[in-house]
Amino acid sequence: MGTPNRHVIRALSPRAVVGYLRSRGWEKKRDFGTKAAVFGVSIDGVEHELLVPVAHQAHDYGQVMEVMVEDLVKIEDRSPYELVSDLGMAAFDVIRIRSPDADDIGSVRLIAGVELHEHARDLVLHAANAAAAKRPRAVWRGRRAEEVDDYLAALRLGQSQRGSFVISLLSPWDFIPVSERDQVDMGFVDPFGRRATKMLGRALEAVKKALQEAATKGVEEPFEAIVKDGVSANLCQALAHIARDGEGADVSIRWSLTQPEQGEPLLRLAREDAQSLTEAARRLAEAEPLSEVEVQGHITSLNEEARAFDGVTTIDALVEGRMRRVNVTFAKDDAKLRDALIDAFKYRKRISFTGELTREGRRLRLENPRDLTVLPPSDED
């Protein structure tokens, strides 16, 4: 059958190899000098031993590693390519998305495969958003935290498996953004890479439960209750696409063998789950306040009598790329503000101000309006 490229074998990490062996019951028996160790295991009453190189800088490291792989292939009676693949991924948390829509040779439609990769990235991205934030949110908008972008750049794409179409995203569990190195070194926080995958695992388990409850309760209550678990409208939408494009899918996490956790999260999605997840995404997006925004537009409704002025206005403004009607209540006791608003309404002047947008069903309301400016006329006015 042959063996994998020797350069691939020589690049294997000693820590990853030891993690793999320990996950399968191997135990260290003794040191072999200062640059290797002997590991042993009993399989069906037969004792086996392996010489494992532990010093990557040793001049014969590559040769010893090649011999170890050959011996382990014989002991486990498996493909050397699959073994080396597992050893290479042992240092990563592995996020797998398996599509049952593959044919007998593990292929899928090109467009489906491309989209599954994109949605897999989105899934990890929004779990990382939750891991980076002070509190999880029902929907993520605007710029990402710097550590999230750094983490995404550290992700790797593993090989698909034979006989099925599996996307493997390799997440370095020990990834630490520059901004957190002191905190991790002092033991205040776990590495960001592990926080991101733990958040994803927590979200997957929460979605599994919410989908079961949604069958009798509808999606709103079960999914609003799991925002605290890192479930957002964005994450639900990514899962909906994965379920739809893959004709159902299994989403799972295998922890790094060098730093394992208890249990392995697994979410099995049927294609019909896409509808529930899409509806959940819509409900969560409507319920979450938008981040602080600057609004520019024209006042379309306002009580322009000074004595009767109550601060209640309606403004046509550009929001999220399209014109929307926004309800705003300004302070009614500020005479200067009142006069500026009445003047802008009478003479069709554009105004600009900031605040926090919230949704009331399909309507938008801006809370805490401030920094009002009456803008000079433009060619569009």
Is the domain of 211 the same as that of 279? yes
pLDDT at 291: 67
| Residue among 95, 99, 96 nearest 247 (CA) | 99
Any residues with CB less than 8 A from the CB of 71 and at least 6 apart, and which?
Answer: 50
3-state secondary structure the chain: CCCCCHHHHHCCCHHHHHHHHHHCCCEEEEECCCCEEEEEEEECCEEEEEEEECCCCCCCHHHHHHHHHHHHHHHHCCCHHHHHHHHHHCCEEEEEEEECCCCCCCCCCHHHHHHHHHHHHHHHHHHHHHHHCCCCCCCCCCCCCHHHHHHHHHCEEECCCCCCEEEEEEEECCCCCHHHHHHHHCCCCCCHHHHHHHHHHHHHHHHHHHHHHHHHHCCHHHHHCCHHHCCCHHHHHHHHHHHHHCCCEEEEEECCCCCCCCCCCEEEECCCHHHHHHHHHHHHHHHCCCCEEEEEEEEEEECCCCCCCCCEEEEEEEECCEEEEEEEECCCCCHHHHHHHHHHHHCCCEEEEEEEEEEECCEEEEEEEEEEEECCCCCCC
Whether 337 is in a domain gets the answer yes
Whether 123 is in a domain gets the answer yes
For residue 46, give both structure tokens.
């037969």
Is the domain of 176 the same as that of 310? no
Please name every residue paired with 138 in a beta bridge, in sequence order, or none if there are none. none
Is the domain of 355 the same as that of 224? no
- C-alpha distances (whole Å) from 173 to each of 90, 154, 181, 370 are 10, 10, 14, 43
Is the domain of 265 the same as that of 365? no
pLDDT at 320: 63
Is the domain of 256 the same as that of 330? no
Whether 352 is in a domain gets the answer yes
Q: Are 39 and 29 in contact (CB under 8 A)?
A: yes
Is the domain of 123 the same as that of 223? yes
End of a domain among 65, 89, 113? 89
Is the domain of 305 the same as that of 352? yes
Q: Which domain, by its residues, includes 306?
A: 292-374
pLDDT at 1: 45
Residue 325's domain is classified under what CATH number? Answer: 2.40.50
Whether 381 is in a domain gets the answer no
Whether 126 is in a domain gets the answer yes
Is the domain of 258 the same as that of 204? yes
End of a domain among 56, 89, 122? 89
End of a domain among 64, 89, 114? 89
Is the domain of 205 the same as that of 75? no
Q: Quick one: CA dihedral 51, 57, 59, 65, positive or negative?
A: positive
For residue 369, give both structure tokens.
């309006």
Is the domain of 322 the same as that of 200? no
Is the domain of 158 the same as that of 281? yes
pLDDT at 303: 86
| Residue among 227, 66, 252 nearest 139 (CA) | 227
Whether 380 is in a domain gets the answer no
Whether 1 is in a domain gets the answer no
Is the domain of 267 the same as that of 283? yes
In this structure, the strands spanning 322-329 and 363-374 are parallel
Domain count, the chain: 3
pTM metric for this prediction? 0.71
Please name every residue paired with 167 in a beta bridge, in sequence order, or none if there are none. 97
Distance CA(245)–CA(294), nearest Å, equals 37
Please name every residue paired with 329 in a beta bridge, in sequence order, or none if there are none. 312
Whether 138 is in a domain gets the answer yes
What is the pLDDT tens value at each position of the chain, 381 positions in all? Answer: 456 778 888 888 898 899 899 988 999 999 999 999 999 999 999 999 999 999 888 888 989 999 999 999 999 998 888 898 889 888 899 999 998 776 666 677 788 888 889 999 999 999 999 999 988 889 887 678 889 999 999 999 987 665 578 899 999 999 988 877 777 766 667 899 999 999 999 999 999 999 999 989 999 999 999 999 999 999 999 999 999 987 889 999 999 988 889 999 999 999 999 999 999 999 998 877 666 788 889 999 998 888 889 999 999 987 766 788 999 999 988 999 999 999 999 999 999 998 888 776 667 888 889 999 998 876 555
